[in-house]
Amino acid sequence: MFNQRLPFDIDYKVIGTFTEFYIALLRFVNFKLYKDIGIKYPPQRDAFANESDPLFLCPNKIGDLQAQVAKHFDREIAGSIEQIGVSEEFKNTPELQQLTKKQ
């Protein structure tokens, strides 16, 4: 009753190739993000799984990971401000604080 019409003028091989490329790119990005914060990639399922439900993410573990990531990025932001060479009079301005929040 609700058939989908697939136009013949679209090259579905190109779409499939792009999808494969995009999946590989996302895997690389995830690997890089995990590596930057010092977590093994791919994450171990046992560390995240609840005993009753293997797909359930443990809230305590998620909170620990968020704290670890926050510490890492706070160090990175502080290092980048020092590296740029922002003078002392501008370090506490609202504009710089807003920029560091965006980072």
- Report pLDDT for 13: 92
Map tokens 């740029």 to a residue.
84
Q: What is the pTM of this model?
A: 0.44
C-alpha to C-alpha distance for 10 and 26, rounded to whole angstroms: 25
Query: For each successive 10 residues of the chain (103 residues), what is the average pLDDT?
Result: 85 93 94 83 62 59 79 72 65 72 55
- Report pLDDT for 1: 74
> Using the 8-state DSSP alphabet, how is residue 8 labeled?
T
The crossing angle, in degrees rounded to 10, of helices 59-84 and 94-102 is 130
- Report pLDDT for 55: 47
